[in-house]
């Protein structure tokens, strides 16, 4: 509906814009009356039917009306023309503002919808997408690229629903006055259109480079802000500033180049238009001065012709500008579509099964996985029985985290399959599958919200009592109530107002509140000091009590009591058994325990 109103107001604007110009001709007739017009008796026109005759009848009626006024009282006629022209200009600008009023809502609604589409897609894209794409580039697409789309919306509305109509209606008036001169003028216009189109193609290439560079720039900013602690610690501030300066300069050069190309179109088009108008003035003037019998022009209508033709150049110039904006935005549209059209590797099967409760076991049935070409997991087989705890140990890069990421389908296996209670996890609804799993990672991912909102993340219906109970189990209640606003304390971006141990206990409380059937602990205590580790470990033991757990351990002392320990090396299980069994073998696990000083 909003788009229709924009179109209607633009059409009315075009009509009254033409009328405001055409109405100057009676003004000329009043100031410079022909002696022939004074002498000829007025004859009231008669409409005899027909579409074409209707326009002739309207023109003759207006001429009859004006001539009657001129002969009776020229001053009254002059006043009428002045008032009429003012009203036409007033209505023209009212309708123009009406178009802008509704257009502003439409353009921002499009921007809102595009941003929502990008964000929604970003939320469902697989983790592999983010290993290849920079976060800053994604932010640039949601900000600067979407801004180009906003400009393109306006350009498109004007390009398709205002300027063509303005050209047509102005052409009708010009043809009515002089078909011969109109045809001559149209022969000259394609030249400028050809030149502008060449600039547009070059502009698209430069605009795409500029938008890609904006993504690089955003990534540099994001890395600089996120890593400020390390940057300062390593005295790398000059290095980061130099890197940013280089990227910023490159962006400035590309955008300047794009602006110059885009802004070349209007003045070039105007210059060409003026050249065309000068040629038309010369040609039309010779027709009048030579008294060409085939020409219907006289001095006053010729001036009106020139006035209206100058208005014809405005929508043509508008189309050239709109095409420039569309060409520039086309590069942004391509970058946005690259996100929206990105393959959703993790897809849910049609008629996927529901799962409400984990009953028996999870089986990794000869699972292999590769991110690209090289396998990072090879022929992994183990059974995770309900209520049991399996620990994964091994050097960095051995595939421990990848194994845990396959269970909630952050990635899908390359070979083999994972089953839950005898059913391949690919057959379940993704939401239901992930509802069975709770995750506590090494890095506590918290959000810029209150402690209560972070604990209840994913469970917004949780009561205050349930939130407090979860915090008590996670050994977090005591430090929470000592904060200024208790559970309503805002913890800042990424929870930076809290210590590492406090953040981790909030993460554990979040997992407790979810009450998952299966718990994944990804080196949950490896980044903590001894005192914090003790508190967090107590929390984890409460959380794992009688719960199915898959534990990735860096500190082997935390998994001594696991029901089974899997030792990985280069993506393969090289040892398995309980702590005592593996110590007896005196293999890789034995060596790892020795290195960490664990009592054997």
Lowest mean pLDDT among 66-75, 360-369, 420-429: 66-75
Least confident of 170-174, 210-214, 321-325, 390-394: 321-325
pLDDT, mean of residues 123-145 = 73
Strand pairing category for 375-385 and 361-370: antiparallel
Task: Find, among 484, 485, 530, 532, the residue nearest to 507 by Cα.
Answer: 532
- The Cα 255–Cα 211 span in angstroms is 8
Q: Could you tell me what percent of the chain has a pLDDT over 90? A: 8
Which pLDDT tens digit goes with each residue over 532-578? Answer: 667 767 777 777 777 888 988 877 777 888 889 999 988 899 999 99
368 and 379 in contact (C-beta within 8 Å)?
yes
The answer to whether the beta carbons of residues 251 and 218 sit under 8 Å apart is no
Residue 35 or residue 188, greater confidence: 188
Q: Could you read off the pLDDT of 400-455 as tens digits, one per residue?
A: 888 988 998 888 898 999 999 989 999 999 888 988 888 887 777 788 888 898 88
pLDDT value at residue 365 = 93
Mean pLDDT of 506-522: 85
Give residue 256's pLDDT.
Answer: 84
Q: How confident is the model at residue 366 (pLDDT cuts 50, 70, 90)?
A: very high
- Report the pLDDT averaged over residues 25-29: 60
* Best-predicted range by mean pLDDT (4-13, 120-129, 275-284, 481-490): 481-490
For residues 169 and 436, the model is more confident at 436
Answer whether residue 227 shows pLDDT above 90. Answer: no
How much is the average pLDDT of 504-519? 84
DSSP 557: G
Q: Helix crossing, 51-72 with 24-31: angle to 10°?
A: 40
The secondary structure of residue 558, as a DSSP letter, is G
**Per-range mean pLDDT, top range of 10-14, 135-139, 469-473, 566-570:** 566-570
Q: Residue 368 has what pLDDT?
A: 93
Is 457's pLDDT higher than 80? yes
Rounded alpha-carbon distances, angstroms, from residue 409 to 44, 49, 119, 320, 515: 84, 75, 20, 50, 19
Kindly state the average pLDDT of the residues 8-22: 77
State residue 419's pLDDT score. Answer: 93
In angstroms, rounded to a whole number, what is the distance separating the alpha carbons of residues 196 and 200? Answer: 6
Output the pLDDT for position 392. 92
Q: Is the pLDDT assigned to residue 36 strictly greater than 60?
A: no
Structure-model confidence comparison of residues 541 and 119, the more confident one: 119
Average pLDDT over residues 112-127: 81
Q: Which of the residue ranges 303-307, 326-330, 459-463 has the most confident prediction, judged by mean pLDDT?
A: 459-463
Give how far Cα 488 sits from Cα of 5, 7, 483, Å.
Answer: 47, 50, 9
Question: Looking at the domain 2-340, which fold is it?
Answer: ABC transporter transmembrane region fold (1.20.1560)
pLDDT at 293 over 50: no
**Residue 39 pLDDT class (50, 70, 90 cuts):** very low
How large is the average pLDDT for residues 60-86?
Answer: 70
């Amino acid at each position: 509906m909003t788009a229709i109103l924009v179109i209607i107001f633009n059409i009315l604007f075009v009509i009254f814009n033409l009328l405001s110009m055409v109405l100057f001709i009676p003004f000329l007739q009043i100031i410079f009356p022909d002696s022939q017009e004074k002498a000829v008796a007025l004859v009231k026109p008669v409409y005899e039917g027909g579409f074409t005759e209707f326009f002739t009848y309207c023109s003759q009626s207006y001429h009859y009306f004006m001539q009657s006024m001129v002969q009776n009282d020229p001053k009254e006629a002059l006043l009428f023309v002045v008032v009429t022209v003012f009203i036409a200009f007033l209505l023209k600008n009212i309708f123009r503002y009406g178009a802008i009023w509704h257009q502003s809502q439409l353009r921002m609604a499009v921007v809102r919808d595009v941003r929502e589409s990008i964000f929604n897609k970003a939320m469902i894209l697989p983790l592999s997408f983010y290993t290849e794409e920079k976060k800053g580039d994604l932010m640039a697409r949601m900000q600067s690229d979407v801004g180009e789309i906003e400009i393109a919306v306006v350009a498109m509305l004007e390009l398709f629903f205002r300027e063509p109509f303005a050209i047509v209606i102005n052409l009708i008036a010009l043809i009515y006055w002089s078909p011969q001169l109109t045809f001559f003028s149209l022969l000259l216009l394609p030249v400028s259109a050809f030149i502008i189109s060449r600039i547009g193609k070059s502009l698209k290439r430069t605009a795409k480079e500029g938008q890609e560079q904006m993504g690089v720039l955003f990534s540099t900013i994001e890395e600089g802000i996120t890593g400020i602690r390390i940057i300062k610690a390593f005295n790398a501030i000059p290095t980061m500033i130099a890197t940013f300066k280089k990227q910023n300069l490159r962006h400035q050069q590309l955008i300047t180049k794009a602006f110059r190309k885009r802004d070349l179109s209007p003045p070039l088009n105007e210059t060409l238009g003026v050249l065309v108008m000068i040629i038309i003035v010369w040609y039309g003037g010779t027709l009048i001065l030579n008294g060409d019998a085939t020409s219907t022009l006289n001095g006053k209508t010729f001036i009106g012709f020139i006035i209206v033709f100058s208005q014809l150049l405005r929508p043509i110039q508008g189309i050239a500008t709109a095409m420039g904006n569309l060409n520039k935005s086309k590069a942004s549209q391509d970058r946005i579509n690259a996100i929206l059209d990105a393959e959703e590797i993790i897809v849910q099967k049609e008629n996927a099964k529901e799962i409400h409760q984990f009953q028996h076991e999870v089986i990794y049935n000869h699972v292999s996985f590769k991110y690209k070409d090289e396998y990072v997991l090879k022929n992994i087989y183990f059974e995770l029985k309900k209520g049991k705890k399996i620990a994964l140990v091994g050097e960095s890069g051995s595939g421990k985290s990848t194994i845990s990421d396959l269970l909630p389908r952050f990635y899908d296996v390359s070979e083999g399959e994972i089953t839950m209670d005898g059913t391949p996890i690919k057959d379940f609804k993704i939401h239901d599958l992930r509802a069975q799993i709770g995750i506590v990672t090494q890095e506590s991912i918290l959000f810029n919200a209150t402690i209560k909102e972070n604990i209840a993340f994913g469970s917004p219906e949780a009561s205050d009592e349930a939130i407090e109970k979860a915090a008590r189990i996670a050994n977090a209640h005591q430090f929470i109530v000592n904060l200024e606003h208790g559970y309503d304390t805002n913890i800042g971006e990424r929870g930076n107002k809290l210590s590492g141990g406090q953040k981790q206990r909030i993460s554990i409380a979040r997992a407790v509140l979810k009450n998952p059937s299966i718990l994944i602990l990804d080196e949950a205590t490896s980044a903590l000091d001894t005192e914090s580790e003790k508190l967090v470990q107590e929390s984890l033991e409460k959380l794992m009590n009688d719960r199915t757990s898959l534990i990735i351990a860096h500190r082997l002392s935390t998994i001594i009591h696991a029901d089974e320990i899997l030792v990985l090396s280069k993506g393969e299980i090289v040892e398995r058994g309980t702590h005592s069994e593996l110590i007896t073998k005196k293999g890789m696990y034995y060596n790892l325990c020795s290195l960490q000083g664990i009592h054997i």
